[in-house]
Amino acid sequence: GAGVSQSPRYKVAKRGQDVALRCDPISGHVSLFWYQQALGQGPEFLTYFQNEAQLDKSGLPSDRFFAERPEGSVSTLKIQRTQQEDSAVYLCASSPRLAGDPYNEQFFGPGTRLTVL
Amino acid sequence: QQQVKQSPQSLIVQKGGISIINCAYENTAFDYFPWYQQFPGKGPALLIAIRPDVSEKKEGRFTISFNKSAKQFSLHIMDSQPGDSATYFCAASITGKLIFGQGTELSVKP
């Protein structure tokens, strides 16, 4: 079946531009997570949703980062006034379990590689 | 206290050998410990996971050993194959969100 999809796969932005990254989770999955993966590092948690509710946004690095999931399905991560340090792969994951469930198998998408020039 | 420390950073193993990757954590509130495998250009894929009330879990060639008192856990890959060459991440879950280790780049030589 279809897995988690993300678009675009690659995005090049000039410093100061706004970008929007899209995540299509596995159909029916309740929880959706965003992670940021710098080159050569492990993914770092940004935020997560349970249905349309954003339950934890403690990992968002600044107020330039904003995420939404208005209908409890597709999610968008928006970065305003991009900076060079925002360059990374942005990963989306979804899970059929509630967001706070500890045994929460998360299925990852291929990521969006953002390069800020 | 939220960190998960992973070692080694890179590992070279001969085909048929055993690959061992270690992780350590401090926060006793972590309640689930998965391992992920990541190939270049792909997202991480769940390999195997363990709960803290279990000391060992085996699935095929992959085994997790978990030492709760030492706050350490490890991944063993038996009979390593060239197709296992990838980056491996340990992780720990707290309130459902994953805290990842820094990753181990495994290369299995034929």
Question: Using an 8 Å Cβ cutoff, are B21 and B104 in contact?
Answer: yes
Q: How many domains does chain B have?
A: 1
Question: What pLDDT, on a 0 to 100 scale, did the predictor assign at position A4?
Answer: 97
A-B contacts (CB, under 8 Å): 66
Q: Which domain holds residue B38?
A: 4-109
**What is the dihedral sign for C-alpha A24, A28, A29, A32?**
positive
Residues of B in contact with A31 (CB under 8 A): 96
Q: Which of A82, A88, A89, A66 is nearest to A18 (CA)?
A: A82
Q: What is the mean pLDDT of each run of 10 residues along chain A (117 residues)?
A: 91 98 96 96 96 95 96 96 97 91 88 97
Distance CA A22, CA A9 (A): 10
pLDDT for B1 equals 62
Of A21, A3, A1, A7, nearest to A106 by C-alpha is A3
Out of A45, A91, A108, closest to residue B97 by CB = A45
Provide the CATH number for the domain around residue B95: 2.60.40.10
Instruction: For residue B40, count other CB atoms closer than 10 A to its CB.
Output: 6
pLDDT at A1: 56
State the pairing for strand pair B104-109/B10-14: parallel
Residue from the list A33, A98, A103 with its beta carbon closest to the beta carbon of B32: A103
Q: What is the structure's pLDDT at A74?
A: 97
Query: What confidence score (pLDDT) does residue B61 get?
Result: 97
Mutation site for A-interface testing, chosen from B46, B98, B102 by largest number of A Cβ within 10 Å: B98
- For chain B of 110 residues, list the mean pLDDT of each consecutive stretch of 10: 90 97 95 95 94 94 96 98 98 92 97
Q: How far apart are CA A110 and CA A114, in angstroms?
A: 13
Q: What is the pLDDT of residue A84?
A: 96
Q: What domains, with CATH codes, occur in chain A? A: 5-116 (2.60.40.10)
Hey, is the C-beta of B101 within 8 angstroms of any chain A C-beta?
A: yes
